[in-house]
Structure 1
Amino acid sequence: MTPTVLRGTALALASAALAVLPAVPAQADALRAQQWALQAVHAQQAWHTTKGEGVTVAVLDTGVDANHPDLEGQVEPERDLVGFGAGPGDPSWARHGTGMASIIAGHGHGAGRQDGVLGLAPEARILPVRVILEDNDSERERARTEKAGALADGIRWAADHGADVINMSLGDDSESAHPEPREDAAIQYALGKGIPVVASAGNGGEKGNRVSYPAAYPGVITATAVTHLGGRARFSTRHWYATVSAPGNDIIMADPEDDYLSGWGTSPAAAFVSGAIALIRSAHPDLSPAQIRRLLTSTAQDSPEGGRDDDYGAGLIDPAAALRAAADLRPTPQKPSPAAFADRYFGPGPTADDTADTATPWLPWTAGAAGLALLAAAAVLWRNRPHPHGNRPR
């Protein structure tokens, strides 16, 4: 039978489109042989240091199947901020979220856990927060209108309930996409508590390449997608907010009901970045989000000319190299939450025409010149003032 590819549709606060197809039979050698991404990011080398133990990754998504054998025992009780839509057993339930959770923390199953899917941080825990519905859920449109604030609420809830990393393999890159103050503030709240926040760059590389949110909010670590050949995936959105790249094509992941999928998107790329951060936080729990961001960018593989570009950010993540570099770091005190950018930051991004931010202000110089003129005039008046005895000072 020829596999059928199902393409997701873009919508506000929905998962970045994820194509899925029936995986090959769930045999250990068949599945593991297809997990090219783990080799690409040097997972085995990183696992000599840590596999993510002690770290909880919040997956803000469509829900997670905690009973999947590759995730069993790793998933915390779910927080559902939608409250309706598909449930367990329905074909449109928790497919996307389960896949992302398995990329982050799948641990396989069976004797020696040789079967199934391995995540990048297989000993991390997953905190599922249901903030969106699957693209094919019959209640999707209702969720868009009635639960528009679920993402912002989910970020804050995760930050207050034990998340060490927040993964958002989702976004809005529609024509009407725009920054939401509540979401921006929620992200700054999480960052202020020392929690790195990750998002997918968007899948609009061939469909308008529009700005995607939450990827474009300040402080977010944003992932673009690469293929197994190391090139940019054609669907991957290209913008100034790209931080790093990660595998995002032909990615094997868990599916509810003990099944597996092969998919693409910047969604799995973001999940790999969150897995890499989970490894770093496991070994170095006191590093700030800013330090972790610098570790990812300074140790990235295949760094573009000039250090970064909109296609790859700083390059392909290398958690093994980041862990080595982190050994020489001292934690920096967590600074207050950064102020949100003004609205004009969103849209085309900083350009060479933004001279207002770099031009020398005229007011201080004008005021200074006026002050000097007044001083000079005062000096002349002082010298020419009438002397008590009719004489001028010599």
Structure 2
Amino acid sequence: MTKTVLRGAAVALSCAALAVLPAVPARADALRAQEWALQAVHAQQAWRTTKGAGVTVAVLDTGVDANHPDLDGQVLPEQDLVGFGAGPGDTAWAQHGTGMASIIAGHGHGAGRQDGVLGLAPQARILPVRVILEDNDPQRGRARTEKAGALADGIRWAADHGADVINMSLGDDSSSAHPEPREDAAIQYALGKGIPVVASAGNGGQKGNHVSYPAAYPGVIAATAVTHVGARARFSTRHWYATVSAPGFDIVMADAGNGYLSGWGTSPAAAFVSGAIALIRSAHPDLSPAQIRRLLTSTAQDSPEGGRDDDYGAGLIDPAAALTAAGDLKPTPQKPSPAAYADRYFGPGPTAGDAADSPVNWLPWTAGAAGLALVAAAVVLWRGRRTHP
């Protein structure tokens, strides 16, 4: 890997803020040393059983850069349900989606693949479904009226085109967020086909703590975020729908192009949960979404008193323990869950008056709402062949 240094500017994607972080060399050893999350979830132990071979994870996001060296050969052709906005090579393209894909299935590169970042399921495939634009895309406002329903369409498309897991590191946790029948029905459709669905719990823990969708739809596995010391990340939304927690602070991931970034949010937490499910599905492909959910919750680390709470759900994911427990299970027939909230609507999404109460500013698209709010917010970009200013 080309020796690089960290740029000092970190763009907080969900709220357009800037932060300055110390420069750190982006050498292979430095990158791998920062991947504390893999140790926290016992990835090495899980890899003794499987690394996710044979599993396809749909990443519903801003697009994925299939040419990044850490994803080369892992990414299937993309389905673009937005149809406009930035494209490959633009700065406002696929940053977030590429990062999430690398958390799930990054395999590193170079001799022995010792360079770059490793995902939790490094042999899984990625199916990119572009349903939103990056926050800094100049055309993101067009989706308010033109692309309503992209998320619902993306869920159904992924379910019909080979997805074994659906990851949604996105959502709307503004004060006006409501369930939308099309999205709810699409999720029930995917669950009925035996496909687990994962979403970010929300980044509004310090800004209103509003319910977030799609995380709150019935059957969705909602991920909250923890830090490297196992504490709830302060930004992580706390609600009844929290299923499990996963690392979501100082997470190293790939950036579009050949660079890297480090960020925080319940977006990376959801990606880790999807990676864990990819490992389970690789070893036990016939388990139902309900069985996989129970495996994750029953084997979670640091389970709260009483078995769950709104901060951590059932606790920190432990895919190694889940794989062990799965050996005693027999697949059960999948029974589709009934759609819920059919008499409610999604709402107009964040407005200027809501801005102080919500971190959402990620392209509202479903009825002018769902933004990529649950993003890696404090993003530090590594760029090859650059020096620190």
Range of TM-score over shorter length: 0.7 to 0.9
Contact 2:81 2:154 in 1 (8 A): yes
1:274 matched residue in structure 2: 274
1:357 matched residue in structure 2: none
AA paired with 2:27?
Answer: Q
Structure 2 CA distance, aligned partners of 1:283 and 1:18?
Answer: 42
Contact 1:21 1:261 in 2 (8 A): no
CA drift of 1:5 comes to 2.3
Q: Which SS does the other structure have where 1:4 is aligned? A: strand
Q: Which SS does the other structure have where 2:296 is aligned? A: helix
AA paired with 2:54?
Answer: G
Structure 2 CA distance, aligned partners of 1:143 and 1:22?
Answer: 36
CA deviation string 1:99-145 (max 9, x = no partner): 00000000000000000000000000000000000111111111232
Structure 1 CA distance, aligned partners of 2:157 and 2:346?
Answer: 26
**Is residue 194 of structure 1 aligned with residue 194 of structure 2?**
yes
1:101 matched residue in structure 2: 101
AA paired with 1:160?
Answer: D
1:92 matched residue in structure 2: 92
Given the two structures, how large is their TM-score scaled by the length of structure 2? Answer: 0.84
User: Measured at CA, do residues 51 and 316 of structure 1 come closer, stay the same or move farther in structure 2, by a change above 3 Å?
Assistant: same
1:180 matched residue in structure 2: 180
User: Measured at CA, do residues 249 and 127 of structure 1 come closer, stay the same or move farther in structure 2, by a change above 3 Å?
Assistant: same
CA drift of 1:19 comes to 8.7
1:3 matched residue in structure 2: 8
User: Measured at CA, do residues 302 and 148 of structure 1 come closer, stay the same or move farther in structure 2, by a change above 3 Å?
Assistant: same
User: Measured at CA, do residues 101 and 19 of structure 1 come closer, stay the same or move farther in structure 2, by a change above 3 Å?
Assistant: farther
**Is residue 134 of structure 1 aligned with residue 129 of structure 2?**
no
Bigger-Rg structure (1/2): 1
1:65 matched residue in structure 2: 65
Contact 1:218 1:341 in 2 (8 A): no
2:47 matched residue in structure 1: 47
User: Measured at CA, do residues 132 and 21 of structure 1 come closer, stay the same or move farther in structure 2, by a change above 3 Å?
Assistant: farther
Q: Which SS does the other structure have where 1:170 is aligned? A: coil
Structure 2 CA distance, aligned partners of 1:19 and 1:131?
Answer: 28
Contact 2:127 2:163 in 1 (8 A): yes
Q: Give runs of ≥4 in structure 1 deviating > 4 Å.
A: 17-23, 341-347
CA drift of 1:186 comes to 0.2
Relative to total residues, which structure has the larger helix share, 1 or 2? 1
Structure 2 CA distance, aligned partners of 1:214 and 1:345?
Answer: 13
2:356 matched residue in structure 1: none
Contact 2:302 2:315 in 1 (8 A): yes
CA deviation string 1:265-301 (max 9, x = no partner): 0000000000000000000000000000000000000
CA deviation string 1:235-268 (max 9, x = no partner): 0000000000000000000001100000000000
User: Measured at CA, do residues 285 and 67 of structure 1 come closer, stay the same or move farther in structure 2, by a change above 3 Å?
Assistant: same
Q: Which SS does the other structure have where 2:209 is aligned? A: coil
CA deviation string 1:314-368 (max 9, x = no partner): 0000000000000000000111333425668999xxxxxxxxxxxxxxxxxxxxx
Given the two structures, how large is their TM-score scaled by the length of structure 1? Answer: 0.83
Structure 2 CA distance, aligned partners of 1:24 and 1:65?
Answer: 24
CA drift of 1:180 comes to 0.6
AA paired with 1:240?
Answer: W
Contact 2:178 2:213 in 1 (8 A): yes
User: Which one scores higher on RCO, CA 8 angstroms, separation ≥ 6?
Assistant: 2
**What percentage of residue pairs aligned between the two structures are identical?**
88
Q: Which SS does the other structure have where 2:116 is aligned? A: strand
User: Measured at CA, do residues 61 and 2 of structure 1 come closer, stay the same or move farther in structure 2, by a change above 3 Å?
Assistant: closer
Q: Which SS does the other structure have where 1:5 is aligned? A: strand
2:285 matched residue in structure 1: 285
CA drift of 1:174 comes to 1.2
